[in-house]
Amino acid sequence: MSYINNQYIKLDISISDIIKIKVEIDENNKLIEDLDIIQDNPNIIIAYSENVNYYNIFSSVKILITDEIAFMKNEGMIPDYIENIIVNGEIYENNKLDINKLKNTFEIINECKKGNGELALEILESSEINAKQLDNYRNTILMWVGCQNNDLLVEKLLEKQSTNLNSVNKAGDSALTVACSNNKSSIALKLLENPDLNINLFGEKKFTALIWSCINKMESVALKLLDRPEINVNQIDEYGNTALFFACLNKMELVAMKILNNYQINVNQKNFKGITALLVACNMEMENVALKLLQYPDIILDNDNKYSILFMAIRNKIQSVVLYILENFEININQKDEDGYTILNYAVFYNMFLVIQKIQSYH
C-alpha cells in the first residue's frame, strides 16, 4: 500500500490477487472492513466517499467505496471511468449496476426499520432486489425482515436464491438470532426449515438462538433447535449462563428435560454470580428437573452463592428433592441458614413428616 489519506488510497496489487482492505478514514472516523476485491489492474486508486462530490474524483479512480446514504444521494453522479462501486461491502460493476434494484433493496430495509412490514412486502412482491446487500451495520435485508410480524414477508424473501442465511452483522448476530432476540417464533421456525442454517452463531453478548429462545420463553423454537444434532447446548453467554439455566429460570420443563435427556452437558456450570442450573431449578420449584440433575454422578451441591441447594429445596417445599439429597449425599443436618434455621426446623414448619423421619434416623 503506497499511501493513505482521508479520501484516496493507492494500492499496489498483483494481478488477480484478493485484497483485504481495512482502512480507517480519519475525517469521518469510518472503518471499512473485510472487503474482498479481485482486480486485474496492478495499480488502482480506491476512493472512499460519503460526502465527496463524485464529479471531483480523479479519473484514475477505479473503485468507489461508499455507503447507502451517500450512494442514494449521488446515484446520478457516478463517472463512467469508475469500474466498481462497493456499497456497504457489496461489490457492483458500474456498467452493470441496476440502480433501481439497489434502491428497492434499501427501500425494503428502511421500511422494515420503521416497522412498515406490509409496505416492505408490497415492494418485495413487485420489485427486483439484491438480497445479499448489507446496511451500514452489516445487517442483511433478512435480518430486518425477521424483526417484523409478517411471515409472508420472510417466506417471500427466502424464495430469493441469493439470500444469505448465515450472514452476520457487526455484532455477530445472524437472521436467526435477530428473530429469536425479538421474540419472533414464527419467523425463527420458518428459518429453521432450512438445513443449511447455522444455528450456533451468536452476537457480542454470546447469546445463541437457543439461549435467546429460552430467555424469551419460545418453547417451540427451543425444541426445534434441540432437534438439530449440531446444536451447542453448552454455549455460555457473557455472564456465564447456559440455555439450561434460562430454561429453568423460565420454568420451561420440556426444554430443560430434553437438554438433560439428549445431550452431554456441564451440570456444574456456574454463572458469574456462582449460581448453577440446579439451584435455579430448586428455586423455581422444578421438581423433575432438579431430580434429574441430582442423578448425575458428578453433580456438586456446593455453589458460590449464599443459598445452599438443600435449603432452597426445603424452603420451596420440594420434599422429593430434599429426601433424595438426604439419602444420597453426605450433609451436615445441623447446618443453619442465614436466618438460624436448620433443615429439621423447616421440615417441622412445613409438616414434611418423611423428611422429619429421615433426619431422626441420623441419630
Which stretches does DSSP call E strand in 122-265?
none
Query: Average model confidence (pLDDT) for the chain?
Result: 81
Sign of the dihedral through C-alpha 352, 356, 358, 359:
positive
| Overall average pLDDT of the 14-40 stretch | 41
What domains sit in the chain, N to C, each tagged with a CATH number? 3-97 (no CATH), 98-164 (no CATH), 307-363 (1.25.40.20)
Locate 337 and state its grid cell: 441458614
Q: How far is CA 185 from CA 64, 130, 325, in A?
A: 40, 26, 38
pLDDT of 323 strictly over 90? yes
Q: Comparing C-alpha atoms, which of 59, 58, 1, 63 is closest to residue 38?
A: 63
Q: Is 49 helix (H, G, I), strand (E, B) or coil?
A: strand
Distances (CA, A) of 40 to 44, 161, 263, 270, 274: 9, 29, 51, 54, 57
| pLDDT at site 14 | 41
What is the torsional sign of CA 76, 78, 83, 88? Answer: negative
pLDDT of residue 23: 42
* Weakest-pLDDT range from 37-41, 64-68, 274-278, 346-350: 37-41
Longest dimension (CA), the chain: 95
Cα 33 from Cα 65, distance rounded (Å)? 11
- pLDDT tens digits for 123-159? 888 888 888 888 878 888 888 887 777 788 888 888 8
- Tens of pLDDT, residues 70-100: 777 666 667 777 777 777 777 787 777 888 8
Where is average pLDDT lowest: 96-105, 292-301, 312-321? 96-105
Give residue 47's pLDDT: 53
Residue 36: pLDDT band with limits 50, 70, 90: very low
Residue 13 has pLDDT above 60, yes or no: no
DSSP label at residue 255? H
Find where cell 450433609 sits: 331
Say if residue 59's pLDDT is above 80: no
Return the ∠ at Cα 244 (arms to 240 and 247), rounded to 5°.
115
